[in-house]
A and B are shown apart, each in its own frame.
Chain A
Amino acid sequence: METKTKTDIIRVIIAKVGLDGHDRGVKIVARTLRDAGMEVIYTGLHRTPEEVVDAAVEEDVDVLGISILSGAHMTIFPKILKLLKERDAEDILVVGGGVMPDEEAAALKAMGVKEILLQDSPPDAIVASVRRLVAERGPK
């Protein structure tokens, strides 16, 4: 096994929030990140924003990835960002995945979501985005 030096293992939590049962994509993303050597915590379906943010804090993740295919992204992402702020955890990098209009993706990024990966994102690009965001953030 490749020996990772300890602190450079990236931890990611992948969550499904609200009434959205579409988890095929999120499982592919989880598997892709695992194969890139990351530790991926999967929350399962139908979580509340509070549950997801609490889990991200407890797990001390680098990245919180939220997959939304229900159309509720303009409600859920602002809620998540607000909860992270309340818990003094704004250094956790929020990444969104799913299907949404380009202008809404831009609006979410303006609010503080670090990256939006739409349905046509190739696996390599997902891995590269996560690595880049963590590198830009620096040590924690």
Chain B
Amino acid sequence: MRPPLPSLQLAERVCTGERRAIARMLSRAEAGSDEAREALDLIYRRAGNAHVVGITGVPGSGKSTLVAKLAAAVLKSGRKIGIIAVDPSSPFSGGSILGDRIRMGEVSGDPSVFVRSMATRGALGGLARGTLEAVDILDAAGYDMIFIETVGVGQDEVDVVRAAHTTVVVSAPGLGDDIQAIKAGILEIADVHAVSKGDKPEADKTVSDLKSMLGLGLPAAGLRRAVPVVKICSPREEGIGELLAEIDAHRDYLVSSGEYEPRRQAIRERRMLKAAEHVLHEEFERHREGRMAGLLAALADASISPQTAARQLLAHIGMEVRE
């Protein structure tokens, strides 16, 4: 067994597109090891060219199947495509079944495609910790377009919108009425809507519900661009070309409207804050050990409330909460 290669050397190989190096670097980024930080700085400097596209939607809406077909269409256009597919980790064992590759058979093995599965490892919001470092790595390795397929989300797991340049929300027909369509949350974040399972008769109803919802919102929200709704049927490859054209058109729009750089800056800001929060959280977990027994006893006999106990716990570890 060879000794592990230092991450900085690995990073150089990532930038030449070497597949094993990319794969290993992804693991180190995911693990968040200190040893890899300098290498990730280097990779961050080389990144910034790819179009990052988030694909999100409820579980079973057809995200993986769509991603595979879209990736094939991207390949046909002569571009290299990276795919990061996120699936949930178990809150109990920490383990995970990553099944998104099952539907990627068509494109996997092509040298212009790199598919990586990531487990959330406790992160909420629809992405995995390290997803954006993974985007940087694929970007620096020369992939032109990068898809982030989120976990199947509920209504308010919308982190992807602060990670991607273009967000595609996949809606399956038959899951709700026109009131579902005007609720806050996931439907608001779409730059492009895709309605999957277009061979079902209810798909047209879902398309028209989404269109009328978007029509209600347009003037009030001050949007300058109408959000397109594309009906797709992935197994029949219907609507895939049109959807890719809308995704490409969105990037052109961002550039021509001057919104591209502000959006990228918002992503950078979010990444910095998320990383800082993560460090704080780890520090908190480390310091709270041994401080909790007394507070838990006080909670059990109701001599204090959870809110008060929380403030005392923070005070114990040197964090005063100002009211």
Taking Cβ atoms with an 8 Å cutoff, the residues of A that contact B are 1-4, 6-7, 9, 11, 30-31, 33-44, 47, 50-51, 54-55, 57-60, 87-89, 91, 137-140
Residues of B within 8 Å of A88, CB to CB, are: 20
Residues of B within 8 Å of A87, CB to CB, are: 19-20
Q: Nearest-CB distance from A33 to chain B (Å)?
A: 7
Q: Is the CB of B20 within 8 A of A44?
A: no
Residues of A within 8 Å of B89, CB to CB, are: 39
**Bound state CA distance, A9 and B105, in angstroms?**
26
**Bound state CA distance, A35 and B103, in angstroms?**
24
Q: Is the CB of B98 within 8 A of A40?
A: yes
Q: Nearest-CB distance from A13 to chain B (Å)?
A: 9
Contact of A55 among B24, B26, B33, B108 (CB under 8 A): B108
Residues of B within 8 Å of A3, CB to CB, are: 122, 285
**A59 and B99 contact, Cβ closer than 8 Å, known pairs A35-B93, A36-B93, A39-B119:** no
**Bound state CA distance, A84 and B101, in angstroms?**
19
Binary A-proximity of B8-22 (CB < 8 A = 1, otherwise 0) = 000000000001101
Q: What are 22 A-B contacts with C-beta separation under 8 Å?
A: A1-B122, A35-B90, A36-B93, A36-B95, A39-B119, A41-B98, A41-B101, A42-B101, A43-B101, A43-B102, A44-B105, A51-B109, A55-B101, A57-B19, A57-B20, A58-B115, A60-B23, A60-B24, A87-B19, A91-B1, A138-B1, A140-B4
Binary A-proximity of B93-114 (CB < 8 A = 1, otherwise 0) = 1111111011101001100001
Q: Nearest-CB distance from B115 to chain A (Å)?
A: 6
Beyond A43-B102, A55-B101, 20 extra complex contacts between A and B, CB < 8 Å? A2-B94, A3-B285, A34-B90, A36-B95, A39-B98, A40-B97, A40-B98, A41-B98, A42-B99, A42-B101, A44-B101, A51-B105, A51-B108, A51-B109, A58-B23, A58-B108, A58-B116, A60-B24, A137-B1, A140-B24
Residue among B31, B32, B89, B95 with most chain A CB within 10 A: B95
Residues of B within 8 Å of A40, CB to CB, are: 95-98
**Bound state CA distance, A35 and B90, in angstroms?**
8
Residues of B within 8 Å of A1, CB to CB, are: 91-92, 94, 122
Taking Cβ atoms with an 8 Å cutoff, the residues of B that contact A are 1-2, 4, 19-20, 22-24, 26-27, 31-33, 89-99, 101-103, 105, 108-109, 114-117, 119, 121-122, 285
Q: Nearest-CB distance from B195 to chain A (Å)?
A: 26
**Bound state CA distance, A50 and B111, in angstroms?**
12
Q: Which residue of A lies closest to B35 (CB)?
A: A7
Residues of B within 8 Å of A55, CB to CB, are: 101, 108, 115
**A39 and B99 contact, Cβ closer than 8 Å, known pairs A3-B285, A57-B23:** no
Q: Which residue of A lies closest to B25 (CB)?
A: A60
**Bound state CA distance, A71 and B84, in angstroms?**
35
**Bound state CA distance, A47 and B1, in angstroms?**
29
**A34 and B105 contact, Cβ closer than 8 Å, known pairs A39-B119, A40-B98, A58-B115:** no
Residues of A within 8 Å of B121, CB to CB, are: 4, 9
**Bound state CA distance, A39 and B93, in angstroms?**
10
**Bound state CA distance, A59 and B102, in angstroms?**
13
**Bound state CA distance, A38 and B98, in angstroms?**
11
Residues of B within 8 Å of A2, CB to CB, are: 93-94
Residues of A within 8 Å of B122, CB to CB, are: 1, 3
Q: Which residue of B lies closest to A30 (CB)?
A: B97
Residues of A within 8 Å of B90, CB to CB, are: 34-35
Q: Nearest-CB distance from A44 to chain B (Å)?
A: 4
Residues of A within 8 Å of B27, CB to CB, are: 11, 60, 140
Q: Is the CB of B114 within 8 A of A58?
A: yes
Residues of A within 8 Å of B1, CB to CB, are: 91, 137-138
Q: Is the CB of B95 within 8 A of A89?
A: no
